[in-house]
Amino acid sequence: MSQPIYDCIIVGSGAAGGMAAQKLCRAGLQVLMLEAGRSVDYLGKENYKHKMPWEFKHRGFLSPEEKKRYSYVANAYNKHVLADEIQNPYTTPPDKPFVWVRSRCVGGKTLHWGRMSFRWSDLRDGYGVDWPISYKDLEPYYEYVEKLVGISGSQEKISHLPDGIFLPPLPLRCGEMELRKGCEKMGLKLIPNRIAVTTKDYAGRPKCHFCGHCSNVCETGSMFTSPTVFLPIAQKSGRFTLRPNSIAREILLDENGKARGVAYIDALSHQSYEAHSKVVVLAASTFESTRLLLNSKSRFFPSGLANSSGQLGKNLCEHIMAASITGIAPRLKGKRPSYPEDGHPGGTYIPRFRNVTDRHAKFIRGYSFECDSGTDIFPSYAADLPGFGSSWKREIKRIWPSIVSMGTNGEVLVSEKNFVEIDPDVKDAWDIPVLKIHLEFGPNEKAMVADMGAMAQEIFKTAGVEVLSFHKGPLPPGWSIHEMGTARMGNDPRTSVLNSFGQSHDVKNLFVIDGSQMVSATCLEPTITIMALAARDSDYLIEEFRRGNLS
């Protein structure tokens, strides 16, 4: 029996892959989606978030053996959607650790992402390689994403943080109101976070009920995920085929060097298969898409598919996280919050203020603060309080609503030192060569960290918040889970892998639409921009497909 030839194969089912699937299926294309992980019944029997910690063997934490298998974000509630790192290893230089957080499930990291959703802007300084597109190119696609996904937020009229189409913003908690007073004295703004969580019933999804378990897989669909928003649209078209447990190994080429499909391995049986299509779209995440391209060597592309520029794997960028500070707002000690603050899904945000109009003497680009208040079922600040037993527990509860915390997100510059490559000596459980990740923070990031720490302490002091703990940092590379670049877009095929629509310069029917295509990182979370780029890329793909330019 002959195999079907799909119009398009999409590798990956997360933010970018889901966006492309619903776009292409709506336009009439027959789409096959390959997802390396399994389908998860996260709205039903595989949702554990309302179990109490004592119902788990290790009180909600991982066992010592499990800690060897999963990344730092894992716990008893979400480990089933994360990659097993023994089966899925990666390597780094001995003196340069990198934390790579991965999901292996339908929906990818959208099942447990941070939900922060900011539009990027045209704030640029001339350093490095510029983007081939502007904010105006992406503006209508930001609007498209916001209407489809549902973003809560407030209109603030900040030039470098464009407003969007928002659901009602999340309310500020008591500690955040105290922190805002200090920010206002310093000429800084503190605003409600812009979060992909419904604050009212929206498009068939209920408003958030403030259970406080967003990162442990939302069971109501109030938090945006690809399987709750994108994939049902694709499935409803009747032109969508989802194949989970399918690990892409190589992009197949025809005799003319064009993509003709994907070779993949069944994750359960370890059997090899091929799927054929007229167009191939990679949306497996920044590193996984690049890994697949680097492993797809041929006589046409001996150093990796679509790599005539030599830029594939290079230009890696991400975010640096530092200046973690926690304190007590004295006026709130012993007060009772007006609503369940521990279930709040968003927090607040201090937008970038460095290198916006004035130039900082020691570093370029900038950072932002992510703020929080209150606590959760395992108060992290408890370890910083002296005592033991019932009196210690009473003190923890007494200061609960007064807890305020902040952390930072700063831009990591593109550098020749930061790149990924294939490690020829290590393979995963399916005999596929793995990535070796090279990333180190440079002088600009280190100068930024010093300023982050100084500003964090000044904000707390000005707000009258007593410092309970302060960790200058930074956290290890990769901790942000915001890796970008490695197959960047550009107008010049000699210096970029993709054009401004995610299309390979070398292989016209090959698209890469995830974070790989980004040119720089900014200090803003990338997911909504990835979705906007994927929507724009998909519209271009559809038009080129209809014109016959991809055949």
Per DSSP, the three-state class of 15 is: helix
The winner for highest mean pLDDT among 39-53, 69-83, 479-493 is 479-493
CA distance 535 to 260: 23
Residue 338: per-residue pLDDT: 61
Q: Which of 22, 186, 196, 215 is closest to 109 using CA atoms?
A: 215
Q: How many helices (H) and strands (E) does the chain have?
A: 9, 16
pLDDT band at 490 (very low <50, low <70, confident <90, very high): very high
pLDDT tens, 223-249?
999 999 999 999 999 999 999 999 999
pLDDT tens, 514-534?
999 999 999 999 999 999 999
The winner for highest mean pLDDT among 74-78, 136-140, 397-401 is 136-140
Average pLDDT over residues 464-482: 95
Q: Which residues contact 179 (CB under 8 A, 6 or more apart)?
A: 190, 329, 348, 371, 373, 404, 406, 459, 460, 463, 465
Domain 1-114+224-316+416-429+482-551, CATH = 3.50.50.60
Average pLDDT over residues 467-482: 95
How high is the mean pLDDT of the chain? 94
CA distance 367 to 410: 4
Strand partners, 422: 435
CA distance 551 to 545: 8
Q: Worst-scoring range by mean pLDDT, 148-157, 209-218, 273-282, 483-492?
A: 209-218
Average pLDDT over residues 324-330: 93
Average pLDDT over residues 493-517: 98
Strand partners, 38: 105
Residue 502: per-residue pLDDT: 98
pLDDT tens, 413-422?
999 999 999 9
Residue 438 has pLDDT above 70, yes or no: yes
pLDDT tens, 67-93?
999 999 998 888 888 999 999 999 999
Residue 208 has pLDDT above 80, yes or no: yes
- Residue in the structure block whose two tokens are 């189409």: 165
Average pLDDT over residues 149-177: 95
- Alpha-carbon dihedral 90, 93, 95, 96, rounded to 10 degrees: -60
Residue 59: per-residue pLDDT: 83
Average pLDDT over residues 189-197: 97
- Residue in the structure block whose two tokens are 């923890």: 396
CA distance 422 to 334: 55
Domain assignments of the chain as residue spans, ordered by start: 1-114+224-316+416-429+482-551, 170-193+319-411+441-476
Is the omega angle on the peptide bond into residue 162 within 30 degrees of 0, that is, cis?
A: no
If one counts every other C-beta atom within 10 angstroms of the C-beta of residue 284, the result is: 27
Pick 170-193+319-411+441-476's CATH classification: 1.20.1410, 3.30.410, 3.40.50, 2.60.40.
3.30.410
Element at 408 (helix H, strand E): strand 403-411
pLDDT band at 177 (very low <50, low <70, confident <90, very high): very high
pLDDT tens, 285-301?
999 999 999 999 999 99
Q: Which residues contact 320 (CB under 8 A, 6 or more apart)?
A: 367, 408, 409, 410, 411, 412, 441, 445, 448, 449, 474, 475, 477, 480
